[in-house]
């Protein structure tokens, strides 16, 4: 595990620095066990098809965040200090 992945913890504000969502900011919601992938609030939204159940008889399509690689994000404090 790289040093940067230890710094990025749940609840920290990060900026996406690479990939399709470059420039977006958000809070870290989850980390994978090995720390290589994280879920950032409002970034990498994907659609999940919910199966029909007794509670939800019609089923639905829900938008939720997907995991991105930790190397594509940087802590917001460090990003702001770098851009000054």
- Which CATH number covers residue 57? 2.30.30.30
pLDDT band at residue 2, thresholds of 50, 70 and 90?
A: low
Residue-level pLDDT at 6? 74
DSSP element (H, E) containing 4? helix 3-7
**What's this model's pTM, rounded to 2 decimal places?**
0.79
| Phi and psi angles of residue 47, each rounded to the nearest 5 degrees, phi first | -100, 135
- Would you say residue 5 has pLDDT above 90? no
Domain that holds residue 16: 3-82
What are the pLDDT digits (tens) for 14-67? Answer: 999 999 999 999 999 999 988 889 999 999 999 999 999 998 899 999 999 999
Please count the structural domains in the chain: 1
Vertex 3 angle, CA 13 and 14, to 5°: 10
**Looking at residue 1, what is its pLDDT?**
46
């Amino acid at each position: 595990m790289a040093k940067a992945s230890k710094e990025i913890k749940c609840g920290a504000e990060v900026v996406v620095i690479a990939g399709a969502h470059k420039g977006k900011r958000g809070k870290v919601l989850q980390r994978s066990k090995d720390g290589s992938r994280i879920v950032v609030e409002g970034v990498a939204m994907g659609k999940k098809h919910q199966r029909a159940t007794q509670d939800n008889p019609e089923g639905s399509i829900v938008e939720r965040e997907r995991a991105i690689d930790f190397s594509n994000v940087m802590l917001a404090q460090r990003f702001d200090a770098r851009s000054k």
